[in-house]
Structure 1
Amino acid sequence: MAGSFFRVECADCENEQVIFGKAANEVNCAVCGSTLATPTGGDAEFHGDVVETVEAR
């Protein structure tokens, strides 16, 4: 399984979370609950700012 992990900053509360780039489920912020990523069938669509690539494979 090839994919990367990204550190994404929430646009609402500025919390940072690590998200798998091919997320199969909607990912919500652990602090405020806003949507950080939605699945698209391939790479996830991020709704926050990608701060860095944590691990690329």
Structure 2
Amino acid sequence: MAGQFYRVTCPDCENEQTLYGKAASDVACAVCGHVLARPTGGKAVFEGEVTETITRQNHA
């Protein structure tokens, strides 16, 4: 798998968003605009609380 997705809770408005773990640019909250993820050249640094790791499910 190339990368994972994470469910992150915004520290300002508590909105939950699904974010890619290797974000290439800042990812802002869709509700309040708070930056939830910052790129590092590899795995992103999350500003909010990671509440779930979303794994890929193979469907037959």
TM-score by length of 1: 0.93
Tell me the TM-score normalised to structure 2 length: 0.89
Partner of 1:16: 16
Taking only aligned residues, the RMSD between alpha carbons, in angstroms, comes to: 1.1
Task: Identify the residue that residue 3 of structure 2 maps to in structure 1.
Answer: 3
1:54 Cα deviation (Å)? 1.2
Fraction of identical pairs, as percent: 62
CA distance in 1 between partners of 2:37 and 2:55 (Å): 17
Q: Higher relative CO (CA 8 A, sep ≥ 6), structure 1 or 2?
A: 1
Note the residue ranges of structure 1 that are not aligned, 5 or more in a row.
none
Q: Distance in 1 between matches of 2:21 and 2:49?
A: 13
